[in-house]
Chain A
């Protein structure tokens, strides 16, 4: 099955223009806050109505403005997990899980028990949502959706209301649980780590528009677009002047760079991730032929210490902008002035 969404909706301040057809099983939508990610999910679920367009899941048309088809959310079979989970506070865990099951008592009870077990909620059946931890609430919300047996599951910022130290474990748990689901899952997030771990396909959204859709790892490796590079966490982006097919001038950094790919006319920027940059230490004999290029003399402008890594802003004397550089603590910079290498294969050519 695939999900086809091609819709237009006028919103306050911007237009929502979504045009995607998914191939993956777990699709991530990455975008800044307020770019229309959540609105896109709401439109798919039928909570909000687009002005025009088409929404199709497999062969089933959920919305088509031309044919005046607009299924109510009740008929779409689209599960939606809200940012705050939207559990019904007056119902117990059991009652919450069973609320979307429309079967006779015995089969309903069986489905509830199944989901309680799958989501490790044994012993909490009679509790109210207010008496559960954030992680437990999330599992109840998922159990409730699974019990409803939707064709698609939409997860809106699934981890934003959880403590950070809980998150890593829960991302892992969620990944395991989602594997049991047969339909598609769309996950909206502004957190690139979550998306990278959870999703095999990635959609990049900016100011209401879907800019890019493709394999998650591929987009992180080669972002193609400036917006995609920024959203996937690339801190170093500079405008360029093309010199020849494989050489360019990075204007913000004051450096001539050799690149692996051919520089087409559409390329306007070059980017490199902070952890891909290498420091060249004179004491180490690794000045092989390939690092004679793409070397820049810089000074340390700013140092930021994190628990397990160091981040620096380095700047060439004549450059306009600094360059972010990330290193593990063992490789911390000891001097004020140093040489860095921007490896050719790590440079991303961006439109």
Chain B
């Protein structure tokens, strides 16, 4: 076993974790700000915008991968601009991993944050206004802390989703060992190559990580299993 462990290239684990963490950070802030924006929309606009922002959750990830490729392809305006002006290449690169995972994880963050904001007693916000607090201060010092449990579970779910992302990532970032190959991509390619042992190894790793995540979700969502009343 130790021989096997030494022979293994651990890069997919680190790429997965790195991409997962970066994508979660992006999804965290963009998701919260998007939720804040949607809270201020009229009810009709809310329907439309909410639908669009939730799409990546419902659609197959390959559809997201398709649009991301359209957007960032070096032959297209944005991709060309990033490459020629900034030297940034998203397609077939680590940043592609991060962007693909962010897009897929975003709706989970956004929806959980919004649901948490909806639970905040609007009188709290009114009271804060009548106490002279600026809108920005109200949001970060009153709304976000009160909504913290919902935001936290959204963050963990977003991280879990980002970590396991396969469809959009493999389309946008590809499968380059040591550069863009995440665990999810590694499992698929090992299986395709008939290396069931290697695939099984990564499966075991990802199951362990996932179990830890589930454990963390239950911890941060505030109620320990013991406090929940049995049916």
Contacts A100-B131, A100-B133: A80 and B126 contacting too (C-beta < 8 A)? yes
Q: Count residues of A near B (Cβ-Cβ below 8 Å).
A: 27
Q: In the complex, what distance in Å separates the CA atom of A73 from the CA atom of B128?
A: 9
A84-B123 in contact (CB<8A): yes
| Closest chain B CB from A256 CB (angstroms) | 53
A312 to nearest B CB, angstroms?
Answer: 43
The answer on a CB contact under 8 Å between B142 and A47 is no
Task: Answer whether residue B76 sits at the interface, using C-beta atoms and an 8 A cutoff.
Answer: no
Q: Which residues of A in the span 85-103 have a Cβ within 8 Å of any Cβ on B?
A: 86, 88-90, 99-100, 102
Q: Does B132 contact A (CB under 8 A)?
A: yes
Q: Which of A47, A75, A144, A145 contacts B126 (CB 8 A)?
A: A47
> In the assembly, what is the distance between CA of A41 and CA of B169, in Å?
54
Q: Which of A42, A83, A88, A100 contacts B132 (CB 8 A)?
A: A100
| Chain B residues near A150 (CB-CB < 8 A) | 130
Q: Does A190 contact B (CB under 8 A)?
A: no
Q: Are B124 and A74 in contact (CB under 8 A)?
A: no
- A80 touching B127 by the CB < 8 A rule? yes
Q: How far is the CB of A73 from chain B (nearest CB, A)?
A: 4
Report B30 CB to chain A, min CB distance, Å. 24
| A158 interface hit (Cβ, 8 Å) | no
Q: Does A24 have its Cβ within 8 Å of any Cβ on chain B?
A: no
Whole-angstrom distance between the Cβ of B28 and the nearest chain A Cβ = 19
Q: How far is the CA of A80 from the CA of B123 in the complex (A)?
A: 10
Q: How large, as a class, is the contact surface on chain B?
A: 10 to 19
Distance between A115 CB and nearest chain B CB, rounded to angstroms:
13
Per the bound structure, the CA–CA distance linking A202 and B211 in Å amounts to 64
Q: A76 on the interface (CB 8 Å rule)?
A: yes
Contact residue among A47, A84, A89 (Cβ-Cβ distance under 8 Å from B129): A47
Q: Which chain B residues in 119-165 approach chain A with CB under 8 Å?
A: 121, 123-124, 126-134, 142, 145-146, 148
Residues of chain B contacted by A74 (CB below 8 angstroms):
129-130, 132-134
Q: Nearest-CB distance from B179 to chain A (Å)?
A: 43
Binary CB contact string for chain A from 311 to 325 against chain B (1 if under 8 A, 0 otherwise): 000000000000000
Cβ of A78 under 8 Å from chain B: yes
Task: Assess the A148–B132 pair: CB atoms within 8 A.
Answer: yes
A68 to B15, CA, bound (A): 57
Q: How far is the CA of A105 from the CA of B130 in the complex (A)?
A: 22
Docked Cα-Cα span, A227 to B136, in Å, equals 45
Question: Is B121 a contact partner of A86 (Cβ separation < 8 A)?
Answer: yes
Query: What residues on A are CB-neighbors of B134 within 8 Å?
Result: 74
| Closest Cβ–Cβ distance, residue A140 to chain B (whole Å) | 12
Identify 12 new A-B residue pairs, CB closer than 8 A, beyond the known A74-B133, A84-B121, A145-B131.
A47-B129, A47-B130, A73-B126, A74-B130, A80-B126, A80-B130, A82-B123, A86-B123, A90-B146, A90-B148, A99-B131, A100-B131
Residues of A within 8 A of B (CB): 42, 45-47, 72-80, 82-84, 86, 88-90, 99-100, 102, 144-145, 148, 150
13 pairs from A and B in contact (CB 8 Å cutoff) = A46-B129, A74-B133, A79-B130, A79-B131, A84-B123, A86-B123, A86-B127, A90-B148, A99-B128, A100-B131, A100-B132, A100-B133, A102-B132
- Which chain B residues have a beta carbon within 8 Å of chain A's beta carbons? 121, 123-124, 126-134, 142, 145-146, 148
